[in-house]
Structure 1
């Protein structure tokens, strides 16, 4: 057994660093990731943009203005829609009552003729009056316009029916060969010629203080067969009155 009074030996003690001749300690700094006994100083970020109070007020004001405009538009549209549902506006009705042709001459791809058109317009609305102006009318053979004219403006009260007369004149008007040959062929085979009538008018709807914006009304009535054989220069509409197609 060892001597219990023998001193315990272990690792040799680290040699003390030699003193610095300048009087400073030559102890090494602590290794990285060594915790300090005091808390780290707080971090301040000075890169936030400066918020101008006037800019914030202006943006708030613009947002409110936009919100008011949107709300006003929605409210106005809703009111107009409700009024529209209450009034229930309908397009007028047109009927061609008669179409007469006179002084018809077809020669060398030229046509000379007079047309007298009578039509009836009906206002089916019980709460709305109608104003027609800038009315243009034309006579067609198939897709070819032969003669056109204007119709005087007229007014239609609620549920009113009005009759109008329109006159067309063609004096030596040139027609394309296919149309010239087609009219002569119809006269020879069927004893007449089929014409089309088109009208475009600007119409206004008014009910009391309410008035809708003006719209363009289009009326078309096709295959108006006028009996005028090769040996005749005048004729009348065959088959009775015809309803016209009306659209806005």
Structure 2
């Protein structure tokens, strides 16, 4: 009988130790989480800032009928981290060009990079698309652009970022960047309305950013 009582007390002792250990673990995790949230609230992370510096046009051909665009350009985009104590992981970034909301080039991947506080990175990806038909509802705008000798395209960068504060790294967030670029078509009397040689345009256009 005494053996059973002793065995019962031993199991009860281990159970109490396990409960105390788990309770301590949960309390420690809660305290760490609260500290991280407080630091996060004090630092107030700001989204990165982007500037479309220039675009080198190798081909930009517009045909009003049947509403077709061919694009081949190299863009230069500057990215700046405005935070002094928060780093940014760019895990995945894709660049492409759009015309009035319609994608007109393929996705171009930008290599992953870590951006420290106040750091600046410059990317120069190529974006291209050959004989891409424009949606009928954009046809009128395309005709107007051709007549005016100026086509407005939007450079888009979509990706996924994470924030780093000290040794803490957040989960992933979607990043959307939009940069408007007005590109001359050259001689508007030319039915192709295109640039046949590489021409570099200085833009220095600020981009809208959402995270």
What range describes the TM-score normalised by the shorter chain of this pair?
A: 0.7 to 0.9
Counterpart Cα distance in 1 of 2:162 and 2:67 = 41
Indicate the structure (1 or 2) with the bigger Cα radius of gyration.
Answer: 1
Residues 117-165 of structure 1, C-alpha deviations (whole Å, 9 max, x = no match)? 1110001121122211221222111121111322222221221111111
CA–CA separation in structure 2 for the residues paired with 1:178 and 1:233: 22
Higher relative contact order (CA 8 A, sep 6+): 2
| Equivalent in 118, 121, 131 of residue 89 of structure 2 | 131
CA 1:180–1:168 in 2, change beyond 3 Å: closer, same or farther?
Answer: farther
TM-score normalised per structure 1: 0.64
The corresponding residue for 1:193 is 151
* Residue 162 (str. 1) matches residue 121 (str. 2): yes
| In 2: Cα distance, 1:70 partner to 1:157 partner | 32
Query: Which aligned pairs between 1:100-111 and structure 2 lie closer than 5 A?
Result: 100-107=56-63, 108-111=66-69
2-structure distance, mates of 1:226, 1:236: 10
Q: 2 CA distance for matches of 1:180 and 1:80? A: 52
3-state SS of 2:125 partner? strand
TM-score using structure 2 length: 0.73
> Is the CA contact (8 Å cut-off) linking 1:200 and 1:219 kept in structure 2?
yes
Residue 228 (str. 1) matches residue 189 (str. 2): no
Structure 1 outlier segments of 4+, above 6 Å: 69-73
Following TM superposition, by how much is the alpha carbon of 1:178 offset from its aligned partner in structure 2, in angstroms?
3.5
Higher helix share: 2
